[in-house]
Amino acid sequence: MTSNWLLPALLVVPLLASVILLVAGRRAESWATWFGVGVQSVGLVLMLGVLAEYKRNMSGSMQLVVDAEWVPELLVHFRLGVDGISLPLIALTSLLGWCAAVYTVRRVPEPGRARALVGLLLLLQVGLLGTFMALDLILFFLFFEVVLAPMWFLIAFWGSGERRRAANTFILYTVLGSVVMLVGFLIVIVKTGSADMVALANGLGEQMSGNAQLAAALLILGGLAVKTPMWPFHTWLPDAHTAAPTVGSVLLAGVLLKMGTYGMVRIVVPTLPDAMVQIAPYLAAFAVIGILYGALASYGQQDLKRVIAFSSVGHMGFVLLGISTLSVVGINAALFGNIAHGIITGLLFFVVGGIKQRTGTTAFASLPRGLYASAPRLGFLLGFAAVASLGMPGLAGFWGEFLSLVGAYHPAVPEHLFYRVMLVLAAVGMVLAAAYFLRVLRRVGQGAASQATMDDVAADEWLSWTPLIALTVVLGLAPVLVFQVTDPAVRMVVESVAGALP
């Protein structure tokens, strides 16, 4: 195929751009942000190219595959590809990266240094896209790690409050997770003699003995669970979100967390099906605890960003619940939930960042009341994103959570009764989510405006937020746009698990 250069180009363009910014020196400060928008736009165009080349009727198999031997000593191939599981996430990453770049043009967070900021955002993009494209375990791990340093810098240098501590907690916690994951990968590689994710998923992984599968699956899941984050490994997240600058929070919640759940669907479920079937009920239990905990903890927070951070724990709980059913519906729901959460929470963090920029705070105690009155459009967007986030039918947030409950009603795993209980508890969590977001809206939105005037949504904000708003509505009304891509690939995954089911 001639269009195979598209995926490497998606990685090379931001990588080269960040090197250019590094080399350009201080004179780049003035044009760095525009340069960032340009590069992300090129990325978006390349992404459209990928979408055009992508054959929807062949969603179950890898497309646009690139394969070159890289480090034979470690069996590492530079192997990239895209299928129905990764395509939506790659598209989401490109889009959010573009939104963040546009947002940065006029809103470089303190202390400035736009060149470094844009360079790091581009580097982050390389890691995120690479993670979703990699078809080699070690390569996946490398891209997984590429993300860390830029995000650490983003939080530690452009953050606020206890940024340094939050940044360190973030990186040490997630590195511990990824090292654990690496050990799991190495077990798989040593036992099967291959790091090829496609071959492993197509039956090579199943050849491992039961104990080896279980050990590898526990380690890999443990590592990915830190990233997701799954309760009780979530403790790094609220601090990181609170301290991170707006674009950092958007990408953190919007894309970074998805690396964890993506890894589960891409690697653990198809490669280690026997172990996955054993672990699935426990995963479901952790997921549901996360849903309830996220909802309750959100209710208790005194800071807008922390509310959203804990709500993320809950939303990712639904994604995990979907995965744990190992059913076609459940995993589809998980993948949809990933995308929906990325879009909606991205938007939420943008809006909250906007509020913070205007008021200087996100703490309830010092936030002025009456946002609806003082800045009606901003207030509307907060309300819109919050309602979307709590799973209102007709908006994108609904399908992922609803269908993951449907999946839990018909799990592929035999423990039906257990999953029914989980279903009920998760549904309670959904209701609680409504409670905390309504509390936020009442606290921030309603009331007499204590601040007479506040700048409403500016043109550049509209520009960077509109795609997210539009997608929230479009995917809410036509979820099939995502499902038609994910479904064939998910069926392949579920098929590989089918043999492991009793």
Q: Please, what is the minimum distance in Å from the beta carbon of residue 267 to another protein?
A: 16
User: In sequence order, what are the beta bridge partners of 196?
Assistant: 136
When asked if residue 463 is in the footprint of another protein (CB under 8 A), the reply is no
User: Is 160 strand, coil or helix?
Assistant: coil
Member of 68, 72, 366, 393 binding another protein (CB under 8 A): 72
Q: Which of 12, 16, 45, 74 binds another protein (CB under 8 A)?
A: 74
Nearer to another protein, 85 or 216 (CB): 216
Q: Is 316 exposed, middle or buried (0-12, 13-18, 19+ CB in 10 A)?
A: buried
Question: Which residue's structure tokens are 């079937």?
Answer: 277
Q: By CB under 8 A, tell whether 233 contacts another protein.
A: no
Q: Is residue 197 near another protein by the rule CB under 8 A?
A: no
Of 31 and 364, nearer to another protein (C-beta) is 31
Q: What's the DSSP call for residue 255?
A: I
Q: Are 142 and 126 in contact (CB under 8 A)?
A: no
Other beta carbons less than 10 A from residue 156's beta carbon: 18
What x-and-dash track marks residues 116-155 binding another protein by CB under 8 A? x------x---x----------x--xx--xx-xx--xx--
Could you tell me the two tokens for 69?
A: 């031997």
Q: Does residue 170 interact with another protein by CB under 8 A?
A: no
Residues with Cβ within 8 Å of residue 286, at least 6 apart in sequence: 225, 230, 231, 232, 320
Nearer to another protein, 157 or 233 (CB): 157
Distance CA 349, CA 250 (A): 6
Q: Which is nearer to another protein, 25 or 393 (CB)?
A: 25
* Residue 252 lies near another protein (rule: CB under 8 A): no
Nearest approach, Cβ of residue 152 and another protein (Å): 7
Q: Cβ 229 to another protein, closest distance in Å?
A: 17
- At residue 63, φ and ψ (nearest 5 deg) are -125, 165
Of the chain, the end-to-end C-alpha distance in Å amounts to: 41
Among the listed residues 29, 90, 437, the one whose alpha carbon sits nearest the alpha carbon of residue 259: 90
Structure tokens at 217: 């699956």
186 binds another protein (CB under 8 A): yes
Q: What tokens were used for 218?
A: 């526990």
Please name the amino acid found at residue 74: L
Residue closer to another protein (CB basis): 267 or 413: 267
Told to check if 20 binds another protein by CB under 8 A, we report: no
Residue from the set 132, 157, 310, 384 that interacts with another protein by CB under 8 A = 157
Could you give the C-alpha distances from 370 to 376, 452, 454, in angstroms and in order? 9, 9, 10
Question: What is the distance between the alpha carbons of residues 181 and 379, in angstroms, rounded to a whole number?
Answer: 42
Which one of 166-174, 228-236, 376-384, 422-430 is the stretch in contact with another protein (CB under 8 A)?
A: 166-174
CB of residue 137 vs another protein: minimum separation in angstroms?
Answer: 10
Residues in contact with another protein, counted by CB under 8 A, come to a total of 36
Angle between helices 396-409 and 304-325 (to 10 degrees): 40
Residue in 61, 65, 89, 92 with CA at minimum distance from that of residue 79: 65
* 109 is an interface residue for another protein by CB under 8 A: no
Q: How far is the CB of 477 from another protein (least distance, A)?
A: 40
Nearer to another protein, 24 or 428 (CB): 24
**413 counts as binding another protein under rule CB under 8 A:** no
Least CB distance to another protein at residue 407 (A): 34
β-pair partners for 69: 77
Which one of the spans 69-77, 101-109, 270-278, 478-486 is the region binding another protein (CB under 8 A)? 69-77
Minimum CB distance to another protein, residue 116 (Å): 7
In DSSP terms, 368 is beta-bridged to none
Please, what is the minimum distance in Å from the beta carbon of residue 182 to another protein?
7
Segment near another protein (CB under 8 A), from 173-181, 281-289, 411-419, 494-502? 173-181
Instruction: Report if residue 168 touches another protein, rule: CB under 8 A.
Output: yes
CB atoms under 10 Å from CB of 33, counted, come to 22
Backbone angles phi, psi at 26, to 5 degrees: -65, -25
Q: How far is CA 427 from CA 308, 341, 347, in A?
A: 19, 17, 24
| Minimal distance, residue 383 CB to another protein, in Å | 39
Q: Which residues bind another protein (CB under 8 A)?
A: 22, 25, 70-74, 111, 116, 123, 127, 138, 141-142, 145-146, 148-149, 152-153, 156-157, 164, 168, 171-172, 175-176, 179-180, 182-183, 186-187, 189-190
